[in-house]
Amino acid sequence: MLTGEFTPLELAQEAFPTVSEVALKLAVETKNRGFGKLGSLLYIIILKDVTTLSSRQATVFETKIGASLDILEKACMWPKNAGTKGHPTLNGIAIAKRKGLVRALKIASVDVHRGLKEFFSRGHEFEALLTVLEQTQTIKDLTSEDMGLASSPDSKKDNVPGYPQHVNEALYVTLDMHTICGCSPQHLKSARLRLDSIEEHEGSQIPFEVLFPASPALTRGTPDCEIWHETMLMVSRNRPQKKKGQKLKRAPVQVEGTELSLGDFCRHLGAKIGYCIRFNLVFESADPVLRTCDLTSRPTRNVKLVQSLSLTNVLYKIGNKMTTKERFYLAYVLAKSVWQYYGSDWMRQPWTHDDIQFLEEQQSADKSKKIASYNPYYHPKFNDEKSEYPEYFPDGILLHRYPNILALAILLIEIIQGRPYDEQNHEPYGFAKIKEYYKYAWNLTLGAALDCNVIYKEVIKKCLDGKLFKEAPFDEDNPNDGINMRRDIIYREIVFPLKHLLKLSGSPSGEETMLQVVDDGPEIKAHPHQKDYNNTCQSDSSRRSSFEYSTSRVEMSPPAKPNITMSLADEDTLSERTWPNITPETRSHTPDSCISEARSSWSVERPESRDDFEIAIICAVKPEYDAVALLIDQFWDDDGDGYGRAPEDQNTYRTGRIGRYNVVLALLPGMGKANAANVASGFRSSFRGIEIALIVGICGGVPFYNDQEIILGDVIISGSIVQYDFGRRYTNKFQRKNNFSESLGRANTDVRSLLAALSTNDGSEILERRTLHHLEELQRRAQRRRKLRGKYDYPGADKDKLFESSYRHKHHTSFNCDTCNHCNADSDDTCDRAMTGAACSELLCDEKHLVHRRRIDEKLQSTELADEIQQPLPSTIRTLSQPDPNKAEVILTTVPLPTITPDSNEHLIKVYATSPCAGELLWPSFALSYYGKDPKIVPCYDLSGVVVKAPANSPFPAGSEIWGRTAVSHSGNAREYTVAYTEELALRPRSLDPVEAASVPLSAITAVQALFDQGGLAGFDAGEEGRKANASKRILVIAASGGVGVWLLQLAREAGVGGIVGVCGTPNVELVKELGATEIIDYKKQSLNEWIAEDESRKVDLVIDCKGGGSLAQSWNCVKDGGKIISIVEPTEPRKPEGCTAKDVTNYFFIMEPRGSDILHVGKFLEEGKVRMVIDSTFSLDDYQKAFDRLGRSTGKVLIKV
């Protein structure tokens, strides 16, 4: 093959040195190690002596060189032109060098410099180039064994193990025929084929281990009722061949056992419960014959009497606890099994996580210690009515057409990630699913999101390679042609590397165990096998002693905690069964905790009718309703309303139980007496057994009553109800009825007796304790639900602020709010935002007007004292540090705890999480003066944490949950404790996850200032007039899927901007559209110049550039006369292209100011669900290098959890 006038090897020898020099210069200029690595690899590759390589190695080396040239040409080309074929840039370099054209070589180097710099910004493509070069460089180190080959290429086919393919077909066809039986267990329809790691089988027969259920299908609803028949099916390796022109004769072979007719198989199984039964499948002619074998033995696997678990369940329950070696072994077994059965009916459908099942096998019968394992099985679904899916999918435009291999790639990804993908999608592998799954797997594998061994990742890439079978492509006219070659390719490219990887991980060559179960307790007796199918299910007590006891102690190697529980799902009924696992470490021994455990586990029968409900709970507003719903232990109507309502009743109800009481919950359709009366009337007609109705919710109270202070969190119980508007209207006044205790009628004796008991000291103490317990239970349940996380937490005594009654609740002078700025007299209006629930911290209310309260002071003092006792501050902390400002490198070290300056506005903060910014490690090299006189540089300026120490009168006292962005003038936040100024902080909404919240401040504040302060758009406080003004604007966001870009899109959308144009790459088009872009430019398909050349009317009023470089330059052609161009990356004027016709364009580069007030609206929008965070990945402080390496390739923010 020639490339211009050069072979690939010659072209590499000529061009690689020049590209290497340019890459190394870029490494010095940009201080980026990626360019240094590129330059080194290119130089090392050309030093390779190909004459020392074997013929196979030389072939692979030349192939890799060709791939390297293709991607390197794409990287070096300038200007970029996706339609260019061949290697014109590299050819130009080679020709210039050969002919000594110095000037031409210099010009080519300048173009390469520009091309590489732009190509580096593509992230995953640059990483792909380095990967190909690394593979090329290591070819000479591979042995023939590493490549899955013998020493001689001629003997390659002899290196692939296995057995004849007719063995698989004969076994499947024979078992499938026997599913016609009508026995109640329906043995074969729920069969399980054992998967193992054995590649070679000696002898004339191939063994297959298959399990068949013994219990009837109708009794398999509970997992511990399953009894399994263990069978060994021995299939003959040899099959008589019919010669051309001859009639095949029945061979007089000597076989043991009786030939089985249809229906005999099941009867034979039923007669041998408790044994491993052997069958022989022989070829007495060309057709297989199934025979019994009199040789039986005790079960070889001692399979537990439980139903199998799907791979989905295993990954959900213990996927994150599996060791790396266990993941490698499971991946190898599944890949080996796909190779083993590829092309046969065993793979009529691609294997998914639902098809792979696990069963517990007893390995030791030692009474003092039982050891068992979970081994994978395949559920073949014999006689399934679903259609067979072909090996090859010919329809549509697809990059991958082999569903079985794509499905294997998905399984390998699920195993290494420890979680299933798209478990709800049970659609067949058709065009849409193949396209979606391939896109998901390819994007995941191509980037850095899939963190795994390089060999493992390369195996997945092989599975995703649409040209994997180019040596033996599928022929639609002759589908069986080349099947053996395709199986050989699977072994060589997929199975063998995984086997080699397993060997490198230290696993022995023999068969491993999946998950280990250790029982150090007394012997657990298995259920006695019963021949009567109707008696196979034992009592509840015996089932729990054998099944629940063993499965609650699944251990990994090395052992994890001894009380890991697995929640097991019945795959046939799709129902989930769980058992409580309350450990001594987590259980409180107070009476309340015991009551709680009993309450949640009470066995209460479902009410038969509406008349069986005793308690009604009525809530006036949604927050009250949500809180009560969290305390309901079990809902009776999760599967639909089975109780209905009376014909005249218009209420909507939820039914359930709290403890042992059946309750009905209703929400008023609106406030007011009329709505309350209608709901109460509906209750009476529909639920006639109601004995008590509770109106539960939030009450407003006066701050003082009979010299008693009332503060946030007090529980108010009244002795009577007052109808405040019930009385008489006189000429000059309204007078309420004086006998208010009797005005609405007296409560019944039970209620009055309860109120009297609660008024005693003993009763009030019980009430306080039980109320506290239920509140804690409410908070625990809310913590499990992301949207409710933190919603019911006590905000702290410092948040209970009572202002003087004469003080106006409005925006104060620091805000640009015309309505509030003109609000001076009592009769003046405030803005809608101030009237509808804006917090005092948002309005900046003056706390000099607070009312002093004694109980609040006492509470704050006791809280501070408790914090001092329970949470002493450490003397040293862990921190990231950049020791050399001229090197983009950080280290993890230990330093003294930072201190705050007395009488300053500094706060000491315990850090939850922070977020690195792309390129920030390069800032000190050219802007060191910003870092102070004696800088000790700590990176990462996003912050989410809790205030530990605060100055007097700070709006963020100790205990405040905050977020913000700190200035570079003092150290960053990649440390356990940090220091921040008052103006840099804002209160973090408690409903937000404290770690995820660190993704917001820098990006969101930058977006707010770019859009409104710098861009001139009307802000959120401008109301509808502002939205109308913004509706006529068009903006262009460059790098719209980046950390700042995603906020620009969402905030522009919320501000009512009419046209939002987002620039992004192909993988992020859907994301950018979802976040608010009304028009999208895919820069991989169309440049900005091409986009605007199609239609000049597309020009925008405002360009916000988050990328710089060529994109910024082209954006000059996209802005209207009199418009604005703002860049957060680099100065804009130098990027103005020659010949640009735009007039009166305001343009500048700006750096955001760390103002906490700019994030207030963002927090509100997040709580309301109007905007969302876009997070790429989260790393621990120990994995800080992975976090920084991820920058530049991420979609959204990268977080470091401190």
The token duo for 1197 is 């923010």
Please tell me the least confidently modeled range out of 479-483, 575-579, 753-757. 575-579
Q: What is the pLDDT of residue 592?
A: 44
Q: What is the pLDDT of residue 139?
A: 62
Please tell me the least confidently modeled range out of 96-100, 179-183, 651-655, 1135-1139. 179-183
Largest CA distance in the chain: 123
The segment with the largest mean pLDDT, out of 762-771, 786-795, 1103-1112, is 1103-1112
Stretch (H or E) spanning 797: none
Those residues with Cβ within 8 angstroms of residue 855's Cβ, 6 or more apart along the chain or in another chain? 709, 711
Please tell me the least confidently modeled range out of 50-59, 601-610, 612-621, 971-980. 50-59
What whole-number distance in Å separates Cα of residue 91 and Cα of residue 103? 15
What whole-number distance in Å separates Cα of residue 796 and Cα of residue 792? 12
Q: What is the pLDDT of residue 817?
A: 77
Burial of 790 (0-12, 13-18, 19+ CB in 10 A): middle
Please tell me the least confidently modeled range out of 55-64, 228-237, 441-450, 607-616. 55-64
Q: What is the mean pLDDT of residues 929-948?
A: 81
What whole-number distance in Å separates Cα of residue 302 and Cα of residue 363? 7
Question: Binning pLDDT at 50, 70 and 90, where does residue 509 land?
Answer: very low
Q: What is the pLDDT of residue 570?
A: 32
Question: Binning pLDDT at 50, 70 and 90, where does residue 183 land?
Answer: low
Query: Going edge to edge, which strands form the sheet with 1100-1105?
Result: 1079-1082, 1059-1064, 1034-1038, 1100-1105, 1119-1127, 1146-1149
Long-range contact set of residues 53-59: C-beta below 8 Å, sequence gap at least 24: 53/139, 53/140, 54/144, 55/153, 56/144, 56/147, 56/149, 56/153, 57/139, 57/140, 57/142, 57/147
Please tell me the least confidently modeled range out of 63-67, 770-774, 793-797. 793-797
Measured from the Cβ of residue 1151, the count of other Cβ atoms closer than 10 Å reads 10
Those residues with Cβ within 8 angstroms of residue 777's Cβ, 6 or more apart along the chain or in another chain? 596, 631
Q: Name the residue type at position 614.
A: E
Q: What is the pLDDT of residue 546?
A: 27
More confident residue, 338 or 797: 338
Is the pLDDT assigned to residue 189 strictly greater than 50?
A: yes
What whole-number distance in Å separates Cα of residue 204 and Cα of residue 685? 79
Please tell me the least confidently modeled range out of 46-50, 934-938, 1119-1123. 46-50
What whole-number distance in Å separates Cα of residue 1102 and Cα of residue 1044? 16
The token duo for 139 is 């070819």
Query: Going edge to edge, which strands form the sheet with 661-667?
Result: 634-635, 653-658, 661-667, 615-619, 692-695
Please tell me the least confidently modeled range out of 49-63, 546-560, 895-909, 999-1013. 546-560
- Helix (H), strand (E), coil (C) string for 1083-1148: CCCCCHHHHHHHCHHHCEEEEEECCCHHHHHHHHHHEEEEEEEEECCCCCHHHCCCCCCCCCCEEE
Please tell me the least confidently modeled range out of 401-405, 665-669, 761-765. 761-765
Which residues are bridge partners to 235 per DSSP?
A: 206, 281
Is the pLDDT assigned to residue 523 strictly greater than 60?
A: no
Q: What is the pLDDT of residue 463?
A: 92
pLDDT, tens only, 1055-1071: 999 999 999 988 889 88
Q: For 701-748, where are the alpha helices, taking DSSP H only?
A: 740-743
Q: What is the pLDDT of residue 377?
A: 92
More confident residue, 816 or 129: 129
Q: What is the pLDDT of residue 396?
A: 62
What whole-number distance in Å separates Cα of residue 524 and Cα of residue 660? 34
Those residues with Cβ within 8 angstroms of residue 732's Cβ, 6 or more apart along the chain or in another chain? none
What are the Cα distances from residue 1079, in Å, to 531, 1049, 1069?
A: 70, 11, 10
pLDDT, tens only, 17-47: 999 999 988 888 888 888 888 988 888 887 7
Identify which of 448, 421, 445, 444 has the alpha carbon closest to the alpha carbon of residue 433. 421
Cβ atoms of 468 and 402 closer than 8 Å:
yes
Stretch (H or E) spanning 438: helix 431-446
What are the Cα distances from residue 451, in Å, to 148, 172, 446, 454, 735?
A: 25, 38, 11, 9, 75
Is the pLDDT assigned to residue 254 strictly greater than 60?
A: no
Cβ atoms of 910 and 977 closer than 8 Å:
yes
Q: What is the pLDDT of residue 429?
A: 81
Q: What is the pLDDT of residue 976?
A: 93
What whole-number distance in Å separates Cα of residue 1130 and Cα of residue 126? 23
Q: Which domains does the chain have, with CATH numbers?
A: 8-149 (no CATH), 166-240+254-297 (no CATH), 309-504 (1.10.510), 610-695 (3.40.50.1580), 718-746 (no CATH), 794-866 (no CATH), 873-1000 (3.90.180.10), 1002-1172 (3.40.50.720)
Is the pLDDT assigned to residue 568 strictly greater than 60?
A: no
The token duo for 1003 is 């990006």
Buried b (16+ CB within 10 A) or exposed e, 144-181: beebbbeeeeeebeebbebeebbbbbbbbebbbbbbeb
Burial of 1012 (0-12, 13-18, 19+ CB in 10 A): buried
State how far Cα 1009 lies from the chain centre: 31
pTM over 0.75: no
Pair type for strands 575-577 and 568-570 = antiparallel
Is the pLDDT assigned to residue 651 strictly greater than 70?
A: yes
Q: Name the residue type at position 590.
A: T
Those residues with Cβ within 8 angstroms of residue 721's Cβ, 6 or more apart along the chain or in another chain? 744
Pair type for strands 356-362 and 309-310 = antiparallel
Using the 8-state DSSP alphabet, how is residue 303 labeled? B
**Where in 348-494 does DSSP place strands (E)?**
356-362, 370-378
Residue 734 — φ and ψ, nearest 5°? -115, 135
What whole-number distance in Å separates Cα of residue 94 and Cα of residue 9? 12
Q: What is the pLDDT of residue 447?
A: 61
User: Following DSSP, what letter does each residue of 305-357 receive, concatenated?
Assistant: SSPPEEHHHHHHHHGGG--HHHHHHHHHHHHHHHHHHTTSGGGSS---TTTEE
- CA within 13 Å, CB half, 1055: 30
Q: What is the mean pLDDT of residues 456-467?
A: 87
Which residues are bridge partners to 210 per DSSP?
A: 193, 231
Percent of the chain with pLDDT over 90: 16
State how far Cα 176 lies from the chain centre: 40
| Averaged confidence pLDDT in the chain | 77
Q: What is the pLDDT of residue 78?
A: 86
What whole-number distance in Å separates Cα of residue 815 and Cα of residue 485? 74
pLDDT, tens only, 295-306: 555 566 777 766
Burial of 1057 (0-12, 13-18, 19+ CB in 10 A): buried
Q: What is the pLDDT of residue 574?
A: 30
Please tell me the least confidently modeled range out of 101-115, 136-150, 1076-1090, 1187-1201. 136-150
Measured from the Cβ of residue 750, the count of other Cβ atoms closer than 10 Å reads 10
Q: What is the pLDDT of residue 1200?
A: 93
Q: What is the pLDDT of residue 472?
A: 84
Burial of 783 (0-12, 13-18, 19+ CB in 10 A): middle
SS3 619: strand
Stretch (H or E) spanning 618: strand 615-619
What whole-number distance in Å separates Cα of residue 768 and Cα of residue 390? 68
Buried b (16+ CB within 10 A) or exposed e, 572-583: eeeeeeeeeeee
